[in-house]
């Protein structure tokens, strides 16, 4: 089950401003989708990692997002792909990225069509 966070929750988790989170979204370092009855922007919480001193953005998300965007995926489709279970990964691509399996995830992303 995917945990979700709003833009304000993400800003608080990272200890940055709302505008910085919007910049991270614009630059594709994070990816989000609209959800809920208010159609608000939410992102999978798995994109944020717990560091020793502070939380940080999982760096390998950006490259994977770029591969999928180049294939024509919308942000909604990218988020769905990242959080969906895939037999090849024995879990979701986001979980695999968190486990350091960048190359495997990217190979799968290149064949995602």
Task: Indicate the domain borders of the chain.
Answer: 4-110
Instruction: Give residue 36's pLDDT band: very low, low, confident or very high (50, 70, 90).
Output: confident
Residue 77 confidence (pLDDT) above 70: yes
Q: What is the percent of the chain with per-residue pLDDT over 70, rounded to a whole number?
A: 98
Under 8 Å CB-to-CB from 82, ≥6 apart: which residues? 31, 44, 61, 64, 92, 93, 94
Q: For residues 99 and 7, what is the distance between their CA atoms, to the nearest angstrom? A: 24
Residue 1 confidence (pLDDT) above 70: no
């Amino acid at each position: 089950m995917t945990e979700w966070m709003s833009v304000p929750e993400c800003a608080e988790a990272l200890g940055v401003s709302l505008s910085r989170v919007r910049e991270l979204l614009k630059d594709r370092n994070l990816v989000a989708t609209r959800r809920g009855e208010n159609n608000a922007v939410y992102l999978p919480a798995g994109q944020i990692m717990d560091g020793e001193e502070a939380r940080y953005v999982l760096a390998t998300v950006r490259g994977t997002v770029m591969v999928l965007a180049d294939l024509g995926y919308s942000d909604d489709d990218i988020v769905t792909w990242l959080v969906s279970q895939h037999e090849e990964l024995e879990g979701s691509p986001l979980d695999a990225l968190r486990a350091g399996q960048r190359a495997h995830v990217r190979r799968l992303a290149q064949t995602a069509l």
